[in-house]
Structure formats: C-alpha cells, structure tokens
Structure 1
C-alpha cells in the first residue's frame, strides 16, 4: 500500500493518463484562454478552446514521464526569465553535492516563482530538481492539483480539521519528507512558514521544524541527530521588484483597518499568474550552509535558519531606496522612484516598509 498516495507527486506511469484528463478538462482549457487571450472577444472562446486543445495534444504527445514534463516547464521558465527579469543570479549552489538529498528551507515571497527559481538553478547545475511542498488551499481547482503534482509537488493538508486529523496529516507529511530525503535521496523545497512574507520580514515558524522532527521522534532519534539527518539548507530569494507587491500591501492595509481580509475565491490563482508574468527585475537565489547538529531545540534551530536567510538575503537597489525614503532621504534609485509614482497613495508606506524591512532585519543582526 502506498501510504503517501494522496499527497505525493505523480509517478512516471501516471503521467500519460493525467495529461489526457487535463486536455479534456474545460476548466483547464478556459483558464489557458483567459491567461493567453484575455483581450480577445468572448464569442471567440469556443473556437479558441478547440484550437488550444489541439495545440496541447500536439505539444504534450512526447511527454511520457515526469522528466519530460519538467523539460517542458524548463522551456517556459527560460521564456519567462527573458521577458520578466533583467538577471538571475545563483550563489552558493556550487557547495551542493549531486548525490545528496537536501531540504531547502526557503523564505517565501512568491507562490510559484520561489520554488521555480530554486528548481531552475538546480537544473542548470545538473542537480536533481526538488519535490515542492504546496498547501491544499491552492488546489481548489482539480486541474491545478494535477499540474502541481506533475511538476513534483506534494500536498500539505492545511485544511485538516480537529487536532487528531491535523496530527495525522503532519505525521504523514513528516514521514514523506524524511523518506524522500533519507531513502530516496530526493531534494525537497518548503517555505519557512505558511504563506508569503507580505511585509518583507522573513521569520521561520517553529511548528515547521517540529513537523520535520515528528517521524524521527517516533523512532527515538534525538533532535540534533534528526535535524542533521535532513541536511537542511536555508535559502534566501531576493526580487528587485515584487509583481504582487501592491496586492499584498492592499491586503495588509485592509487587515490593519478592519482586522480581517477576505480573499476572493480564486485570488491565489491570480497571484500565481501575476507572479509569473509580472516584472521582477534582478532575482538572486542564495543557498546557505547545511545546518549540522548542535541545536538542542526547535527554537534554537529556528534562530540559525533565520540568521542564514536574513544574512544571505541579497540587498537590491529597491531595498536600499525604500530605506532611504523611509529615513527622509532622496531615493537612491530612479527606477524605484518611478515605481513609487505608480503606487496608490494609501499603499505607499506599506510598500516602503515591504522593501525596506529585509535591510532592517539584516542591520539588526549586524548590530548584534
């Protein structure tokens, strides 16, 4: 029996059937039309649907396994990098061993692009791509779940109800992660906390570390040894411009005003789309050092993860310009000044904080 069947990525022998089902799914076809042909008249959507379906069948006819699918994703990634970034730089990737499975514990700014940039860097370096942790809150549409699981994503059951169900879900997740790393020698990507750091403050949730420990704790493995077994590497991702910044700022402002923010039904899907097609400027992905044993508690371990993520964060001109403006000084970057001019006035201070906070966090560590 496959104990991970409901959360794991699809296996090679499942790919063809899943792709065939996707191509015959109207919701999937209509989403592509809305994505690629948004400005076309609705009366043309019927004929477009037929054309899109034929094109997909032709493009996917050669995809026989997960690797083939990821090679298709790589070609789209190359196109996206050319059109939405000015440069993508990878730091520290040369320290990684091709024959080792790592748990990449990353700061989180963009739903799809954070793991995508990590994955692309590993692919370019000839390393195994990652199995990606994704919350089931993003999978309300079945075709999204299929696409993610084809791309080596595994499901985090955030919607589990009740203590018993949550503990069972966390236990299964912990076992899957440990098995992937220690038995399969696969790489894992997971965010340092649930949800994106919309305010620009990168902080690890201790509950994540406790979840990692659950499966080995059952086997009586001491905490320091268990964490060393997982070969955890903190990863810092830095975007010069965040395509979803104004939307994030609006959410933060709404929460501050009313105490709550109600997402639209498919708002997360829109965020994924905007993150992919929006302008990002320069992107820097920095791989930290494997955290070895010597940390006795989850809280101590969190401190080391946070230290590496914050200190390895590549400061962008936009971060420096935002901090200067906050301090009453002229902007140090004209591009950021122009960007601020497009920002609604009520969001300006939130946007400035979002871009300045990574530098403030780093300065705090340096002063200590």
Structure 2
C-alpha cells in the first residue's frame, strides 16, 4: 500500500492521465485565458479557451514523465529570468554532491519562486531537482494541486483539525521526508517556518525541526544522529526587489493598526502570479554547509540554521539603501528612491523595515 499516496508528488506513470485531466478542466483553461489575455474583450474568452485547449493538448503530448514536465518548466523559467531579473547568482552549490539526498531548509520570501530558483540552480549544475513542501492552503483549486504535484511538490496538511489529526499529519509528513532522503536519496525543499517572512526577519520555527525528528524518534534514534541522517543544508535566498513587497506591507500595516487581516479567497494565487511576473532585480541563492555538528536539541539546531541563513544572506543595495533611509540618511541609490516613491505613505516605514531587516539581523549578530 502507498502510505503517502495523498501527499506525495505524482509518479511517472500518473503524468499522462493527470495532464489529460488538466486539459479538460474548464477552471484551468479559463485561468490561463484570464492570465494571458487579461486585456482582451470578454466576448473573445470562449474562442480563446478553444485555442488554448488545442495548444495545450499539443504541448502535453510531448510530456510523458516528471522529468519531461520539469524540462518544460525549465524553459519557462529561463524566459522568466530574462524578463524579470538582472542576474541570478548561485553560491556554495559546488559543495553539493550528486546522488545525495539533501534537506534544503530555506528562508521564505516568495511562494513559488523560492523553490523554483533553488531547483533551477540544481538543474544547471546537473543535480537532482527537489521535492517541494507546499501547504494545502494553496491548493484550494484542484488544478493547482495537480500542477504542483506534477512538479514534484508534496502536500503539508496545514488544515488538519484537532490535535490527533494534526499529529497524524505531521507523523506522515515526517515519515515521507525521512523516506525520501534516506531511502530514495531525493532532495527536499522546505521553508524554515510556515508562511513567508513578510517582515524580512528570517527565523526558524522549532516545530519544523521537531517534525523532522518524529519519524526517527519512533525508531529510538537519538536526536543528533537523526539530524545527521537528514543532511540539512540551510539556504538563503535574496531578492534585490520583492514583487509582493507593497502587498506584504499592507497586510502587516493592517494587522498592526486593526489587529487582524482577512485574506481574499484567491490572494495566495495572485501572490504566486506577481512573484513570477514581477520585477526582482538581482537574485542570489546561497547554499550553506551540511549541518553535521552535534546539535543535541531542536533549539540548538534552530540556532545553527538561523546562524547560517542570516549569515549567508546576500545583502543587496536595496537592503543598504533602506537601512540608510530609516536612519534619516540619503538612500544613496536613485533606483531604490524611485521605487519607494511609488510606495503609499502609510506603508513607507513598513516597506523600508522589511528591506532593512536582513542587514540589521546580521549587524545584531555580528555576522556581517
């Protein structure tokens, strides 16, 4: 029996059936039409849907397994990099060995692009792409779940109700991650905490580390040894510009002034779209060192992950300019000044703090 059938990515023999179902899903076709032809008159939508379906059917006919699907994704990634970034740099990737399964524990700024940039770097360097942890809160539309699982995503059941159901979900997730890494030698990507670090402060949630341990704890394996089995590699992803910065600031500002923030139904999907098509400037992905020290407790592991993620974060000109502006000094960056001129006045300090925090974290820890 496949104990992970409801959370794992799709297997090669499932790809053709899932793609056929997607092509025949009106919600999926309508979403593509709305995205690519947003400015076209509404009366053209029906004709465009027929054309999109015809083109997609031709495209998916070339895809027979997960690898060929990801090769198609890579071509879209290359196009996106050309149009939305000025440069993408990878640091520390030469330390990774082929045919090893690593647990990439990453800071989290963008829902889709964080694992996508990690994946692209691995692909360019001849390493196996990652299995991506994705919360079920992002999968409210079935076609989104199908697309993600085709791209080697596995599901984190955040919507589990009650302690018993939640512990069962965490146990299954821990078993799947351990099985992927130690039995199948597959790479895993997972964020260091639930949700994006909207304030620019990168901090690991101890619950993530405790979840990793659950599977091996049942086998009476000591915590330090269990962590070594997982080959945890902290990853720091740095964007010169965050396409969702003003939206994140709006949420933070509303929470601070009213105490609450209510997400729109498909707000996360819109954030994914903005993250893909929005301006990013320079992107730097830094792979840290495998944590094989004797971290005896979850708190010790959290401290080491945070030290590496914060210390390896590549400080950009925007981080430096924001820190200067917060101190009342000239930005020293005309491009960033023009960018901030577009920011609503009530969000200005929140946005500046968001950009400055990675630098401030390094300074507070003496890591820069």
What TM-score comes out, normalization by structure 2 length? 0.99
Listed as ranges, the matches of 1:252-291 within 5 Å are: 252-291=252-291
| 8 A contact 2:132–2:152 mirrored in 1 | yes
Deviation per CA, 1:168-199, whole angstroms, max 9, x where unpaired?
A: 00000000000000000000000000000000
Root-mean-square deviation (CA, aligned residues, Å) is: 0.8
Question: What is the CA-CA distance between 1:249 and the residue it aligns to?
Answer: 0.2
User: How far does the alpha carbon of each residue in 1:123-164 deviate from its partner, in whole angstroms, 9 at most, with x for none?
Assistant: 000000000000000000000000000000000000000000
Q: Does 1:146 align with 2:146?
A: yes
1:208 matched to which residue of 2?
Answer: 208
- Classify the secondary structure of the residue corresponding to 1:21: helix
Counterparts of 1:264 and 1:229 in 2: how far apart (Å)? 41
Give a deviation string over 1:205-243, Cα, whole Å, max 9, x none: 000000000000000000000000000000000000000
Q: 1:304 matched to which residue of 2?
A: 304
1:48 aligns with 2:51: no
Once residues 154 and 290 of structure 1 are traced to their aligned partners in structure 2, the CA distance between those partners, rounded to angstroms, is 23
Aligned to 1:63: 63
Contact 1:12 1:65 in 2 (8 A): yes
Contact 2:311 2:367 in 1 (8 A): no
Unaligned runs of 5+ in 1: none
User: Could you tell me whether the CA contact under 8 Å between 1:227 and 1:293 is conserved in 2?
Assistant: no
Q: Please, which runs of 5 or more residues in structure 2 have no aligned partner?
A: none
Aligned 8 A contact 1:225 1:293 in 2: no
How many residues are paired up? 368
**Residue number in structure 2 paired with 1:100:** 100
Displacement of 1:301: 0.5
Q: Which residue of 2 aligns with 1:345?
A: 345
Which residue of structure 2 aligns with residue 124 of structure 1? 124
Pairing of 1:1-368 with structure 2 (within 5 A): 1-366=1-366
Distance in 2 of aligned mates of 1:367 and 1:302? 17
> Deviations 1:38-78 (Å, cap 9, x if unpaired)?
10111100000000000001111110000000000000000
Q: Give the deviation of 1:267 after TM superposition.
A: 0.3
Q: Structure 1 residues 367, 93: closer, same or farther in 2, change over 3 A?
A: closer
Q: Quick one: distance in 2 between partners of 1:367 and 1:198?
A: 22
TM-score using structure 1 length? 0.99
CA distance in 2: counterparts of 1:230 and 1:259, whole angstroms: 39
* Partner SS state of residue 184, structure 2: coil
Shift of 1:293: 3.5
Q: CA deviation at 1:367?
A: 7.0
Q: Give the conservation status (yes or no) of the 8 Å contact 1:88–1:282.
A: yes
